[in-house]
Amino acid sequence: MDKGHRGLTVVSTYRAIVEQQGKALTRDEIKLASALGWSLEFLHSAYLITDDMMDQSITRRNKPCWYKVEHVGLRSCNDAKVLEQEVYHIIEIFFHDKPCYGKLNDLLHEAARYIVFGQCMDMTSNPTGKRPKFQLFTDHRYASIAKYKTSLYSFVLPVRIAMYMSSYDSPDAHQMAEEMLIKIGHLYQLQDDYFDCFSDPDITGKIGRDIQEGKSSWPIVTAFKLCDQDQRETLEKHYGIDEGTSVAIVKDIFTKLSIKELYLKEET
């Protein structure tokens, strides 16, 4: 999904709309759509830098997280802000004289705000230095975190800004696109949570730590709906403990509750 997905989605969506209108795409239009796509990639990179720091992640795509690189450390906080500010700088450079400039700028600011909201909800479910707030591990809150932290900027935003660029301003069309893309984003977050828990880091390029860090993720939220009282007490005792034995106990309960099989059903 990463590796330019958001930026490429802007270009492909804009191309599809223009061709559907029976027009030919010019080189200048491709250049503008590409610039718009790069603004999303900058926003995404800024978010990943801060997210890795807050989650204390170690690797991303088989490389050390940016804050883990030698001589970077806390400087990465400023690096993330530089990337985010360049989002709006790119838009100003390429679209300041275009009719869609105001809507693009507003939508990008809205997306950045929603990312922060989603991250806040995620972090308050599992306060640093304290045990996770398991009473907040619910379907409703999980869906909200997935919506604000993932769906809106990774799936909704690329399509909607391409729509505005092509003067496709219909509120009904934008609402319909958002509703559909939020569902796709929810599925993506579900998949990401599943891979964090069950996949091979050599394949995904990321060492999963949701269990150790006590994250409110799909496997644990689902497990809490299915487990009996004894299993819940065991999960609450061991989930969020950064020890191999505790991780193994949690995964064993996940296996007994058929979390893997449930994921395959959800995916289809």
The per-residue pLDDT for 10 is 96
Q: What is the pLDDT along the chain (268 residues), one digit of tens a residue?
A: 457 899 999 999 999 999 998 888 899 999 999 999 999 999 999 999 998 888 777 888 778 999 999 899 999 999 999 999 999 999 999 999 999 999 999 999 999 999 999 999 988 898 877 899 999 999 999 999 999 999 999 999 999 999 999 998 999 999 999 999 999 999 999 999 999 999 877 766 677 889 998 999 999 999 999 999 999 999 999 999 999 999 999 999 999 999 999 998 887 7
- Residue 184's nearest CA partner among 217, 150, 145 is 150
What is this structure's pTM?
Answer: 0.88
- Report domain extents, the chain: 5-267
What is the four-CA torsion angle of 104, 110, 112, 116, rounded to 10 degrees?
180
Phi-psi region of 26 (alpha: psi -120 to 50; beta: other; left: phi over 0): beta
The CATH superfamily of 5-267 is Farnesyl Diphosphate Synthase (1.10.600.10)
The per-residue pLDDT for 2 is 59
